[in-house]
Amino acid sequence: MTSMHRRAFLAIFAAGVSLPRPAAAQPAGRVYRLGILAPTAPPPPTDRSIAVVLIPKALSEMGYAPGRDLVVEVRYAEGQIDRLPDLARELVRLRMDVIVAISASSVRAVKALTSTIPIVLYGNLDPVAAGLVKSLAKPEGNITGVLIAPAGTLAAKKLELLKEAVPGATRISFLAPADPGIKLQVQETRQAAATLGIRLTVTEVQARDYERAFAALAADRPDALFVGAHTFFVRDRKRIIALAAKHRLPAVYEWPEQVEDGGLMSYGSSLTGTTRRVAVYVDHLFKGARPADLPIEQPAEFQLVINLRTARALGLTLPPSLVARADRVIE
């Protein structure tokens, strides 16, 4: 793997407010209880690049020790969004000190049940447009959090990059999860497609049946694939990447990890960096900070990652100008 044009891309801003650095040691005798609500199924034991794994790992690096002063309760909806309210109710009944809600649907489920337990949202969403908070700078209530994209969902930029990678593309398929929280991404992508003269079709993955979804989208004979940014698709990335290769579809993704596993290209923030910021917020809330006083963070810089091995396998010659702009190129 060769790196090109490596730039620092983990700079994060917090609506103009700098948070203090978390202390390494925790008060003796106190046990903190963290709940995590995720819409996905549990990750495979070998997959360590998932938010539900990275957040507790970051807390451990900050001085918390599971079994000593930290209890982590994770609830998975197994891809069934309608299970989220019941799972959220379990976490609220267990009197968590903080609940991390991954995805807009998870945030809504927890928000409907408690106005006192601090909620840390994490995902690709617009929490103001979704009616979850008053503003990013002053969220009010019991919700704060960390976003993985600013000012929308980066959908337009990713579609633009995919079009640049496949200049002749006139038909592009959007792979969407069965989650209402994807609505804003779809809307932004449709608007960008209209501007670029692209006919966009949306295919929803039901019950993790990726084979059926790809068979349905392939029937439209798309020139390329836009994989929606969602925690479902991070967890199941290897299946998606394999099916994209089988159908010979150049695809754009959200995270570098998806490209490292064989995806063509990604554009987005850092999974490790943003989940660590979630852990920093959890630390401050454990120590008495009020969610309303913690602005919702947005990533300030992004990384374009390209896998040239995948491009060659697809018989695709990428424009040199696009490759030259990449932060990282996998040879």
- The DSSP call for residue 18 is P
| Secondary structure (H, E, C), 96-150 | CCEEEEECHHHHHHHHCCCCCCCEEEEECCCCCCCCCCCCCCCCCCCEEEEECCC
Residue 151 is predicted with a pLDDT of 60
Into how many domains does the chain fold? 2
273 and 258 within one domain: no
Is 234 found in the same domain as 175?
Answer: yes
Q: Tokens 């479902």 belong to which residue?
A: 232
Output the pLDDT for position 44.
Answer: 84
| Residues 282 and 223 placed together within one structural domain of the fold | no
Residue 17 shares a structural domain with residue 92: yes
Lowest mean pLDDT among 97-101, 132-136, 146-150, 278-282: 146-150
Burial class (CB in 10 A: 0-12, 13-18, 19+), 310: buried
Residue 317 has pLDDT above 90, yes or no: yes
Q: Clarify whether residues 110 and 20 are in a common domain.
A: yes
- 224 and 293 both lie in a single domain: no
Give DSSP secondary structure letters for 166-204: STT--EEEEEEES-GGGHHHHHHHHHHHHHHT-EEEEEE
CA-based torsion, 107, 112, 114, 115: positive or negative = positive
Largest CA distance in the chain: 63
CATH number, position 52? 3.40.50.2300
pLDDT tens for each residue of 107-159: 999 999 999 999 999 988 889 988 999 999 999 999 999 998 876 678 999 99
210: in domain: yes
**Residues 298, 260, 217: CA angle, nearest 5 degrees:** 85
Assigned domain for 1 exists: no
Residue 51 or 300, more confident: 51
Q: Model confidence at 34, in pLDDT bands (50, 70, 90)?
A: very high
Question: At residue 5, what are phi and psi to the nearest 5 degrees?
Answer: 55, 45
User: If we measure between CA atoms, which residue out of 184, 326, 196 comes closest to residue 267?
Assistant: 326
214 and 280 fall within a common domain? no
Residue 105 lies in a domain: yes
On whether residue 3 sits in a domain, the answer given is: no
Number of H helices, E strands in the chain: 12, 14
Of 149-153, 210-214, 230-234, highest mean pLDDT: 210-214
Residue 4 domain flag:
no
State whether 279 and 256 are in the same domain.
no
Task: Indicate whether 164 belongs to any domain.
Answer: yes
Q: Are residues 84 and 180 in the same domain?
A: no
Instruction: Kindly state whether residue 110 falls inside one of the protein's structural domains.
Output: yes
Say yes or no: 177 and 250 in one domain. Answer: yes
d(CA 84, CA 254): 24
Residue 174 confidence (pLDDT) above 80: yes
Same domain, 168 and 138: no
Domain membership of residue 119 as a residue range: 12-148+269-299
Q: Kindly state whether residue 5 falls inside one of the protein's structural domains.
A: no
Say if residue 273 is in the same domain as residue 315.
Answer: no
| Mean predicted confidence (pLDDT) in 174-193 | 92
